[in-house]
Structure 1
Amino acid sequence: MGLHGSPHDAPPAPWEGENGAAGMDDRTLLRHVIGTLDPRHADADVLADILLARFGSAGMVLSASPQELDAVTGMYPVLSPLIAVVREAALRLHRAYVRHGDALSGHRRIVDYLQAVMGHDSTEQFRVLFLDAAYRLVDDRVMGVGTVDQAPVYPREIMRHAMDLNARILILAHNHPSGDPMPSAADIQMTMHIEQIARVMGIRLHDHMVVGNGRSLSFRRAGLI
Protein backbone atom coordinates (compact mmCIF):
# COMPACT_ATOMS: atom_id res chain seq x y z
CA MET A 1 0.00 0.00 0.00
CA GLY A 2 1.37 3.43 -0.93
CA LEU A 3 1.58 6.50 1.25
CA HIS A 4 -1.96 7.56 0.36
CA GLY A 5 -3.45 4.12 0.89
CA SER A 6 -6.05 2.46 -1.26
CA PRO A 7 -9.34 4.20 -2.08
CA HIS A 8 -11.01 1.02 -0.86
CA ASP A 9 -9.62 1.72 2.63
CA ALA A 10 -11.49 5.05 2.97
CA PRO A 11 -14.37 5.05 5.46
CA PRO A 12 -17.76 4.75 3.81
CA ALA A 13 -19.69 7.93 3.13
CA PRO A 14 -22.69 8.39 5.44
CA TRP A 15 -25.12 7.64 2.60
CA GLU A 16 -23.42 4.32 1.82
CA GLY A 17 -24.74 2.48 4.87
CA GLU A 18 -27.23 -0.34 4.90
CA ASN A 19 -30.24 1.92 4.24
CA GLY A 20 -28.42 4.83 2.62
CA ALA A 21 -29.65 8.38 3.17
CA ALA A 22 -33.16 7.03 3.73
CA GLY A 23 -31.96 5.51 7.00
CA MET A 24 -30.85 8.86 8.44
CA ASP A 25 -32.92 10.70 11.00
CA ASP A 26 -33.81 14.32 10.21
CA ARG A 27 -31.00 15.81 12.26
CA THR A 28 -28.35 13.66 10.61
CA LEU A 29 -29.73 14.38 7.16
CA LEU A 30 -29.75 18.14 7.75
CA ARG A 31 -26.25 18.03 9.21
CA HIS A 32 -24.97 16.35 6.05
CA VAL A 33 -26.92 18.72 3.79
CA ILE A 34 -25.39 21.71 5.57
CA GLY A 35 -21.92 20.17 5.47
CA THR A 36 -22.24 19.39 1.76
CA LEU A 37 -23.58 22.82 0.80
CA ASP A 38 -21.08 24.70 2.98
CA PRO A 39 -18.08 22.47 3.86
CA ARG A 40 -16.49 25.28 5.89
CA HIS A 41 -19.47 25.52 8.20
CA ALA A 42 -18.27 24.95 11.76
CA ASP A 43 -21.65 24.59 13.47
CA ALA A 44 -23.62 22.17 11.28
CA ASP A 45 -24.93 20.25 14.32
CA VAL A 46 -26.08 23.41 16.09
CA LEU A 47 -27.71 24.86 12.98
CA ALA A 48 -29.47 21.55 12.25
CA ASP A 49 -30.97 21.67 15.75
CA ILE A 50 -32.06 25.29 15.29
CA LEU A 51 -33.68 24.54 11.94
CA LEU A 52 -35.53 21.53 13.32
CA ALA A 53 -36.75 23.54 16.31
CA ARG A 54 -38.05 26.25 13.98
CA PHE A 55 -39.59 24.14 11.19
CA GLY A 56 -40.27 20.76 12.79
CA SER A 57 -38.77 18.39 10.21
CA ALA A 58 -36.14 18.17 7.49
CA GLY A 59 -38.87 18.19 4.85
CA MET A 60 -40.30 21.43 6.19
CA VAL A 61 -36.81 22.98 6.29
CA LEU A 62 -36.27 22.17 2.63
CA SER A 63 -39.72 23.50 1.71
CA ALA A 64 -39.37 26.76 3.66
CA SER A 65 -39.18 30.04 1.77
CA PRO A 66 -35.83 31.89 1.43
CA GLN A 67 -37.18 34.64 3.71
CA GLU A 68 -38.00 32.14 6.45
CA LEU A 69 -34.61 30.48 6.10
CA ASP A 70 -32.83 33.85 6.21
CA ALA A 71 -34.46 34.55 9.57
CA VAL A 72 -32.70 31.46 10.94
CA THR A 73 -29.51 31.25 8.86
CA GLY A 74 -28.85 35.00 8.61
CA MET A 75 -25.33 34.65 9.96
CA TYR A 76 -24.63 32.10 7.22
CA PRO A 77 -25.94 33.91 4.08
CA VAL A 78 -24.58 31.27 1.69
CA LEU A 79 -26.91 28.57 2.99
CA SER A 80 -30.30 30.06 2.18
CA PRO A 81 -29.86 30.28 -1.62
CA LEU A 82 -28.19 26.86 -1.71
CA ILE A 83 -31.06 25.27 0.21
CA ALA A 84 -33.41 27.00 -2.24
CA VAL A 85 -31.62 25.18 -5.09
CA VAL A 86 -32.05 21.85 -3.27
CA ARG A 87 -35.74 22.68 -2.77
CA GLU A 88 -36.24 23.47 -6.45
CA ALA A 89 -34.55 20.20 -7.43
CA ALA A 90 -36.91 18.32 -5.09
CA LEU A 91 -39.94 20.14 -6.52
CA ARG A 92 -38.95 19.24 -10.06
CA LEU A 93 -38.63 15.61 -9.02
CA HIS A 94 -42.10 15.73 -7.46
CA ARG A 95 -43.53 17.36 -10.60
CA ALA A 96 -41.98 14.67 -12.76
CA TYR A 97 -43.63 11.95 -10.65
CA VAL A 98 -47.00 13.68 -10.76
CA ARG A 99 -46.82 14.29 -14.50
CA HIS A 100 -45.87 10.71 -15.31
CA GLY A 101 -48.77 8.49 -16.34
CA ASP A 102 -52.12 8.38 -14.57
CA ALA A 103 -52.16 11.24 -12.06
CA LEU A 104 -55.21 9.89 -10.23
CA SER A 105 -53.41 6.66 -9.33
CA GLY A 106 -50.73 8.55 -7.37
CA HIS A 107 -52.63 10.16 -4.49
CA ARG A 108 -49.63 9.99 -2.15
CA ARG A 109 -47.36 11.58 -4.76
CA ILE A 110 -49.82 14.41 -5.31
CA VAL A 111 -50.04 15.04 -1.56
CA ASP A 112 -46.24 15.01 -1.28
CA TYR A 113 -45.94 17.44 -4.16
CA LEU A 114 -48.54 19.83 -2.72
CA GLN A 115 -46.88 19.69 0.68
CA ALA A 116 -43.52 20.49 -0.90
CA VAL A 117 -44.75 23.30 -3.12
CA MET A 118 -47.04 25.14 -0.68
CA GLY A 119 -47.52 23.21 2.57
CA HIS A 120 -45.27 25.55 4.56
CA ASP A 121 -46.21 28.87 2.94
CA SER A 122 -47.15 31.66 5.33
CA THR A 123 -49.86 32.95 2.99
CA GLU A 124 -52.72 31.00 1.48
CA GLN A 125 -52.63 30.03 -2.18
CA PHE A 126 -55.18 28.28 -4.32
CA ARG A 127 -54.00 26.11 -7.21
CA VAL A 128 -55.62 23.78 -9.70
CA LEU A 129 -54.25 20.61 -11.29
CA PHE A 130 -55.73 20.26 -14.79
CA LEU A 131 -55.96 16.70 -16.19
CA ASP A 132 -56.93 15.51 -19.65
CA ALA A 133 -59.40 12.70 -20.43
CA ALA A 134 -56.60 10.13 -20.04
CA TYR A 135 -55.94 11.34 -16.44
CA ARG A 136 -52.62 12.92 -17.41
CA LEU A 137 -51.61 16.18 -15.76
CA VAL A 138 -51.48 18.92 -18.40
CA ASP A 139 -51.03 21.95 -16.15
CA ASP A 140 -50.56 22.96 -12.53
CA ARG A 141 -51.43 26.59 -11.99
CA VAL A 142 -51.75 28.94 -9.02
CA MET A 143 -55.14 30.61 -9.48
CA GLY A 144 -55.11 32.84 -6.42
CA VAL A 145 -52.80 34.10 -3.68
CA GLY A 146 -54.19 35.83 -0.62
CA THR A 147 -53.55 36.96 2.92
CA VAL A 148 -52.56 34.71 5.78
CA ASP A 149 -55.92 32.92 5.73
CA GLN A 150 -57.69 33.69 2.47
CA ALA A 151 -56.99 33.39 -1.25
CA PRO A 152 -59.35 34.74 -3.92
CA VAL A 153 -60.92 32.13 -6.18
CA TYR A 154 -62.45 32.96 -9.56
CA PRO A 155 -64.37 29.98 -11.00
CA ARG A 156 -64.72 31.69 -14.38
CA GLU A 157 -60.93 31.88 -14.75
CA ILE A 158 -60.56 28.23 -13.76
CA MET A 159 -63.10 27.10 -16.36
CA ARG A 160 -61.62 29.31 -19.06
CA HIS A 161 -58.20 27.81 -18.50
CA ALA A 162 -59.65 24.28 -18.42
CA MET A 163 -61.34 24.86 -21.79
CA ASP A 164 -58.15 26.32 -23.29
CA LEU A 165 -56.28 23.14 -22.25
CA ASN A 166 -59.13 20.79 -23.15
CA ALA A 167 -58.89 19.55 -19.56
CA ARG A 168 -61.65 17.17 -18.45
CA ILE A 169 -60.75 16.62 -14.79
CA LEU A 170 -59.80 19.08 -12.04
CA ILE A 171 -58.08 18.69 -8.68
CA LEU A 172 -58.36 21.78 -6.50
CA ALA A 173 -55.78 22.44 -3.79
CA HIS A 174 -55.04 25.10 -1.24
CA ASN A 175 -52.93 25.44 1.88
CA HIS A 176 -53.82 26.46 5.42
CA PRO A 177 -50.92 28.43 6.93
CA SER A 178 -52.23 27.51 10.39
CA GLY A 179 -51.30 23.89 9.66
CA ASP A 180 -54.83 22.65 10.36
CA PRO A 181 -56.16 21.11 7.11
CA MET A 182 -59.81 21.01 8.21
CA PRO A 183 -61.86 22.91 5.60
CA SER A 184 -63.93 25.91 6.58
CA ALA A 185 -67.59 26.34 5.66
CA ALA A 186 -66.43 28.80 3.00
CA ASP A 187 -64.02 26.18 1.58
CA ILE A 188 -66.85 23.66 1.26
CA GLN A 189 -69.26 26.17 -0.25
CA MET A 190 -66.68 27.35 -2.80
CA THR A 191 -65.91 23.75 -3.76
CA MET A 192 -69.57 22.94 -4.32
CA HIS A 193 -69.92 26.06 -6.45
CA ILE A 194 -66.98 25.09 -8.67
CA GLU A 195 -68.25 21.51 -8.93
CA GLN A 196 -71.66 22.71 -10.15
CA ILE A 197 -70.13 24.97 -12.80
CA ALA A 198 -67.70 22.26 -13.92
CA ARG A 199 -70.50 19.68 -14.26
CA VAL A 200 -72.48 22.00 -16.55
CA MET A 201 -69.39 22.33 -18.76
CA GLY A 202 -68.73 18.58 -18.87
CA ILE A 203 -65.71 18.77 -16.56
CA ARG A 204 -65.32 16.53 -13.51
CA LEU A 205 -64.08 17.80 -10.17
CA HIS A 206 -62.15 14.84 -8.80
CA ASP A 207 -60.97 16.24 -5.48
CA HIS A 208 -60.10 19.26 -3.39
CA MET A 209 -57.04 18.83 -1.22
CA VAL A 210 -56.04 21.00 1.74
CA VAL A 211 -52.45 20.87 3.02
CA GLY A 212 -50.56 22.52 5.82
CA ASN A 213 -47.29 21.83 7.60
CA GLY A 214 -47.21 18.11 6.88
CA ARG A 215 -50.95 17.46 7.35
CA SER A 216 -53.54 17.06 4.61
CA LEU A 217 -57.20 16.43 3.93
CA SER A 218 -58.91 15.11 0.80
CA PHE A 219 -62.49 16.25 0.25
CA ARG A 220 -63.19 13.03 -1.65
CA ARG A 221 -61.80 10.74 1.04
CA ALA A 222 -63.62 12.73 3.70
CA GLY A 223 -66.92 12.31 1.84
CA LEU A 224 -67.31 16.04 1.16
CA ILE A 225 -67.67 15.61 -2.62
Structure 2
Amino acid sequence: MTDDSEAPSPAGGKPGPHHAGHRERLRHRARTAGLPHLPDYELLELFLFRSQPQGDVKPVAKALLARFGSLAAVLAASVEDLMTVRTEDSRGRTKGVGAETALDLAALHEVAARVAREPAVKRPVISSWTALLAYVRVALQHEPREQFRVLYLDRKNQLILDEVQNRGTVDHAPVYPREVVRRGLEVSAAAMILVHNHPSGDPTPSRPDIEMTKQIVLAAKALGLDVHDHLIVGRDGVASLKSLGLM
Protein backbone atom coordinates (compact mmCIF):
# COMPACT_ATOMS: atom_id res chain seq x y z
CA MET A 1 0.00 0.00 0.00
CA THR A 2 1.31 3.46 -0.86
CA ASP A 3 1.97 5.87 2.05
CA ASP A 4 -0.28 8.92 2.33
CA SER A 5 2.73 11.13 1.62
CA GLU A 6 3.16 9.42 -1.76
CA ALA A 7 -0.41 9.78 -3.02
CA PRO A 8 -0.52 11.27 -6.54
CA SER A 9 -2.10 14.67 -7.01
CA PRO A 10 -5.68 14.64 -8.26
CA ALA A 11 -6.18 15.59 -11.90
CA GLY A 12 -5.85 19.33 -12.30
CA GLY A 13 -4.75 19.74 -8.70
CA LYS A 14 -1.59 21.25 -7.32
CA PRO A 15 1.59 19.17 -7.68
CA GLY A 16 2.35 17.02 -4.67
CA PRO A 17 5.44 17.52 -2.49
CA HIS A 18 8.79 16.80 -4.14
CA HIS A 19 9.16 13.63 -2.09
CA ALA A 20 5.84 12.16 -3.25
CA GLY A 21 6.55 8.67 -4.50
CA HIS A 22 10.12 8.77 -3.21
CA ARG A 23 9.63 5.91 -0.78
CA GLU A 24 8.41 3.50 -3.40
CA ARG A 25 11.11 4.58 -5.84
CA LEU A 26 13.78 4.00 -3.21
CA ARG A 27 12.33 0.60 -2.28
CA HIS A 28 12.24 -0.35 -5.97
CA ARG A 29 15.87 0.67 -6.43
CA ALA A 30 16.84 -1.32 -3.32
CA ARG A 31 15.08 -4.41 -4.69
CA THR A 32 16.51 -4.15 -8.20
CA ALA A 33 20.02 -2.74 -7.69
CA GLY A 34 20.53 -4.32 -4.26
CA LEU A 35 21.00 -2.81 -0.80
CA PRO A 36 24.83 -2.72 -1.04
CA HIS A 37 24.52 -0.17 -3.87
CA LEU A 38 22.63 2.38 -1.76
CA PRO A 39 24.53 5.25 -0.14
CA ASP A 40 24.43 5.39 3.66
CA TYR A 41 21.75 8.07 3.85
CA GLU A 42 19.36 6.06 1.65
CA LEU A 43 19.94 2.89 3.65
CA LEU A 44 19.14 4.89 6.76
CA GLU A 45 16.04 6.28 5.05
CA LEU A 46 14.74 2.76 4.43
CA PHE A 47 14.94 2.05 8.13
CA LEU A 48 13.40 5.40 9.08
CA PHE A 49 10.39 4.63 6.86
CA ARG A 50 9.37 2.10 9.54
CA SER A 51 9.69 4.55 12.42
CA GLN A 52 8.23 7.55 10.58
CA PRO A 53 5.54 6.16 8.24
CA GLN A 54 4.71 9.53 6.69
CA GLY A 55 6.63 12.52 5.41
CA ASP A 56 10.09 13.13 3.99
CA VAL A 57 12.78 11.40 6.09
CA LYS A 58 15.72 12.20 3.80
CA PRO A 59 16.58 15.42 5.71
CA VAL A 60 16.50 13.45 8.99
CA ALA A 61 18.79 10.74 7.59
CA LYS A 62 21.26 13.33 6.30
CA ALA A 63 21.11 15.31 9.56
CA LEU A 64 21.89 12.16 11.56
CA LEU A 65 24.93 11.38 9.41
CA ALA A 66 26.12 15.00 9.58
CA ARG A 67 25.72 15.08 13.36
CA PHE A 68 27.47 11.78 14.15
CA GLY A 69 29.80 11.39 11.17
CA SER A 70 29.02 7.89 9.93
CA LEU A 71 26.30 5.25 9.79
CA ALA A 72 28.05 3.18 12.47
CA ALA A 73 28.26 6.22 14.75
CA VAL A 74 24.55 6.98 14.25
CA LEU A 75 23.60 3.50 15.40
CA ALA A 76 26.02 3.62 18.36
CA ALA A 77 24.68 6.97 19.63
CA SER A 78 22.64 7.05 22.80
CA VAL A 79 18.88 7.52 22.68
CA GLU A 80 19.32 10.90 24.38
CA ASP A 81 21.88 12.11 21.82
CA LEU A 82 19.79 10.88 18.90
CA MET A 83 16.82 12.89 20.13
CA THR A 84 18.81 16.14 19.88
CA VAL A 85 18.85 15.91 16.07
CA ARG A 86 16.47 18.35 14.42
CA THR A 87 15.99 19.53 10.86
CA GLU A 88 13.34 21.07 8.60
CA ASP A 89 11.25 19.21 6.07
CA SER A 90 10.48 20.44 2.56
CA ARG A 91 7.68 22.64 3.89
CA GLY A 92 9.87 24.33 6.49
CA ARG A 93 8.41 22.38 9.39
CA THR A 94 10.67 21.23 12.20
CA LYS A 95 11.27 17.51 12.07
CA GLY A 96 13.63 15.26 13.96
CA VAL A 97 14.22 12.12 15.91
CA GLY A 98 11.60 11.26 18.50
CA ALA A 99 11.77 8.72 21.30
CA GLU A 100 10.41 5.86 19.18
CA THR A 101 12.79 6.48 16.27
CA ALA A 102 15.74 6.78 18.65
CA LEU A 103 14.82 3.51 20.34
CA ASP A 104 14.50 1.78 16.95
CA LEU A 105 17.99 2.95 15.94
CA ALA A 106 19.45 1.82 19.27
CA ALA A 107 17.76 -1.56 18.83
CA LEU A 108 19.32 -1.91 15.37
CA HIS A 109 22.76 -1.33 16.90
CA GLU A 110 22.08 -3.98 19.54
CA VAL A 111 21.06 -6.44 16.81
CA ALA A 112 24.33 -5.75 14.96
CA ALA A 113 26.34 -6.24 18.16
CA ARG A 114 24.66 -9.55 18.93
CA VAL A 115 25.19 -10.82 15.40
CA ALA A 116 28.88 -9.90 15.65
CA ARG A 117 29.13 -11.61 19.03
CA GLU A 118 27.73 -14.98 17.86
CA PRO A 119 30.97 -16.32 16.30
CA ALA A 120 32.90 -15.38 19.44
CA VAL A 121 30.36 -17.11 21.68
CA LYS A 122 30.09 -20.38 19.75
CA ARG A 123 33.83 -21.07 19.64
CA PRO A 124 36.71 -20.63 22.08
CA VAL A 125 37.50 -16.92 22.11
CA ILE A 126 41.22 -17.48 21.79
CA SER A 127 40.81 -19.50 18.57
CA SER A 128 38.34 -17.02 17.05
CA TRP A 129 40.31 -13.85 17.69
CA THR A 130 39.23 -12.19 14.45
CA ALA A 131 35.56 -12.64 15.41
CA LEU A 132 36.28 -11.24 18.86
CA LEU A 133 37.95 -8.13 17.45
CA ALA A 134 35.03 -7.62 15.07
CA TYR A 135 32.60 -7.87 17.97
CA VAL A 136 34.38 -5.40 20.27
CA ARG A 137 34.68 -2.93 17.41
CA VAL A 138 30.95 -3.07 16.68
CA ALA A 139 30.16 -2.77 20.39
CA LEU A 140 32.55 0.05 21.30
CA GLN A 141 34.15 1.72 18.30
CA HIS A 142 31.75 4.66 18.25
CA GLU A 143 30.77 4.87 21.91
CA PRO A 144 30.81 8.59 22.81
CA ARG A 145 31.83 7.89 26.42
CA GLU A 146 34.46 5.61 27.86
CA GLN A 147 33.16 2.19 28.82
CA PHE A 148 35.02 -0.60 30.62
CA ARG A 149 33.80 -4.15 30.16
CA VAL A 150 35.09 -7.63 30.93
CA LEU A 151 34.72 -10.82 28.92
CA TYR A 152 34.66 -13.70 31.43
CA LEU A 153 35.76 -17.08 30.03
CA ASP A 154 35.48 -20.68 31.19
CA ARG A 155 38.32 -23.25 31.23
CA LYS A 156 37.79 -23.90 27.50
CA ASN A 157 38.13 -20.16 26.81
CA GLN A 158 34.47 -19.93 25.79
CA LEU A 159 32.56 -16.81 26.71
CA ILE A 160 30.52 -17.01 29.92
CA LEU A 161 29.62 -13.36 30.27
CA ASP A 162 30.29 -10.01 28.62
CA GLU A 163 29.64 -7.45 31.32
CA VAL A 164 29.92 -3.67 31.40
CA GLN A 165 31.73 -2.89 34.64
CA ASN A 166 31.58 0.86 34.37
CA ARG A 167 30.63 3.77 32.13
CA GLY A 168 32.41 7.06 32.46
CA THR A 169 33.11 10.36 30.75
CA VAL A 170 34.67 11.10 27.38
CA ASP A 171 38.11 10.17 28.71
CA HIS A 172 37.73 8.16 31.92
CA ALA A 173 35.80 5.20 33.30
CA PRO A 174 36.62 4.24 36.89
CA VAL A 175 37.80 0.64 37.32
CA TYR A 176 38.09 -1.28 40.58
CA PRO A 177 40.37 -4.35 40.28
CA ARG A 178 38.81 -6.12 43.26
CA GLU A 179 35.33 -5.80 41.75
CA VAL A 180 36.56 -7.16 38.41
CA VAL A 181 38.07 -10.22 40.10
CA ARG A 182 35.20 -10.70 42.52
CA ARG A 183 32.74 -10.85 39.64
CA GLY A 184 34.93 -13.42 37.92
CA LEU A 185 34.73 -15.68 40.96
CA GLU A 186 30.94 -15.22 41.14
CA VAL A 187 30.46 -16.50 37.58
CA SER A 188 33.05 -19.30 38.00
CA ALA A 189 35.33 -17.85 35.35
CA ALA A 190 38.80 -19.24 34.71
CA ALA A 191 40.07 -16.28 32.71
CA MET A 192 39.09 -12.85 31.42
CA ILE A 193 39.75 -10.35 28.69
CA LEU A 194 39.56 -6.67 29.60
CA VAL A 195 38.07 -4.29 27.05
CA HIS A 196 37.55 -0.55 27.00
CA ASN A 197 37.23 2.19 24.41
CA HIS A 198 38.91 5.51 23.74
CA PRO A 199 36.25 7.94 22.44
CA SER A 200 39.07 10.10 21.05
CA GLY A 201 39.48 7.43 18.35
CA ASP A 202 43.13 6.63 19.14
CA PRO A 203 43.46 3.17 20.75
CA THR A 204 47.01 3.77 22.00
CA PRO A 205 47.24 2.65 25.66
CA SER A 206 47.78 5.42 28.18
CA ARG A 207 49.98 5.13 31.27
CA PRO A 208 46.87 4.78 33.52
CA ASP A 209 45.59 2.01 31.19
CA ILE A 210 48.83 0.10 31.63
CA GLU A 211 48.97 0.56 35.40
CA MET A 212 45.33 -0.44 35.86
CA THR A 213 45.90 -3.58 33.78
CA LYS A 214 48.85 -4.61 35.94
CA GLN A 215 46.77 -4.16 39.10
CA ILE A 216 43.99 -6.40 37.75
CA VAL A 217 46.50 -9.03 36.58
CA LEU A 218 48.05 -9.19 40.06
CA ALA A 219 44.67 -9.34 41.82
CA ALA A 220 43.43 -12.06 39.44
CA LYS A 221 46.60 -14.14 39.70
CA ALA A 222 46.34 -14.24 43.49
CA LEU A 223 42.97 -15.97 43.12
CA GLY A 224 43.86 -18.30 40.25
CA LEU A 225 42.35 -16.29 37.37
CA ASP A 226 44.18 -15.48 34.14
CA VAL A 227 43.95 -12.19 32.26
CA HIS A 228 44.54 -13.06 28.62
CA ASP A 229 44.61 -9.52 27.26
CA HIS A 230 43.41 -5.96 27.54
CA LEU A 231 41.91 -4.61 24.31
CA ILE A 232 41.50 -0.89 23.72
CA VAL A 233 39.02 0.03 21.00
CA GLY A 234 39.08 3.24 18.98
CA ARG A 235 37.81 4.38 15.62
CA ASP A 236 41.38 3.87 14.33
CA GLY A 237 41.48 0.20 15.35
CA VAL A 238 42.01 -2.10 18.33
CA ALA A 239 45.18 -2.16 20.45
CA SER A 240 46.21 -5.29 22.36
CA LEU A 241 48.32 -4.68 25.46
CA LYS A 242 49.56 -8.26 25.29
CA SER A 243 50.72 -7.89 21.68
CA LEU A 244 52.41 -4.61 22.61
CA GLY A 245 54.27 -6.31 25.48
CA LEU A 246 52.62 -4.10 28.09
CA MET A 247 51.27 -6.85 30.35
Relative to the length of structure 2, the TM-score reads: 0.75
For 2:51, the aligned partner's letter is: L
Measured after TM superposition, the shift of residue 207 of structure 1 is 1.2
Contact 2:153–2:161 (8 Å) recurs in 1 = yes
Q: Which moved more, 1:112-121 or 1:204-213?
A: 112-121
For 2:122, the aligned partner's letter is: H
Measured after TM superposition, the shift of residue 14 of structure 1 is 4.5
Counterpart in the other structure of 2:69: 56
Corresponding position: 1:165 with 2:178: no
Contact 1:123–1:147 (8 Å) recurs in 2 = yes
Corresponding position: 1:80 with 2:102: yes
CA distance in 1, matches of 2:193, 2:151: 5
Unmatched 5+ residue regions in structure 1?
1-9
CA gap of 1:212–1:116, structure 2 versus 1, over 3 A, is same
Residues 143-154 of structure 1: pairs in structure 2 closer than 5 A: 143-154=165-176
Q: Which moved more, 1:207-216 or 1:151-160?
A: 207-216
CA distance in 1, matches of 2:69, 2:135: 18
Counterpart in the other structure of 2:47: 33
Residues 1-225 of structure 1: pairs in structure 2 closer than 5 A: 13-16=28-31, 20-44=34-58, 46-73=59-86, 75-77=96-98, 78-213=100-235, 215-225=237-247
Instruction: Let me know the Cα RMSD of the aligned residues.
Output: 2.6
Contact 2:77–2:144 (8 Å) recurs in 1 = no
Measured after TM superposition, the shift of residue 15 of structure 1 is 4.7
Residue identity over aligned pairs, in percent, reads: 36
The aligned length equals 214
CA distance in 2, matches of 1:145, 1:62: 18
1:55-82: CA deviations, max 9, x gaps?
2221111111111111115634142122
Alignment partner of 1:217: what SS?
Answer: strand
CA gap of 1:214–1:61, structure 2 versus 1, over 3 A, is farther
Measured after TM superposition, the shift of residue 112 of structure 1 is 3.2
Unmatched 5+ residue regions in structure 2?
1-23, 87-94
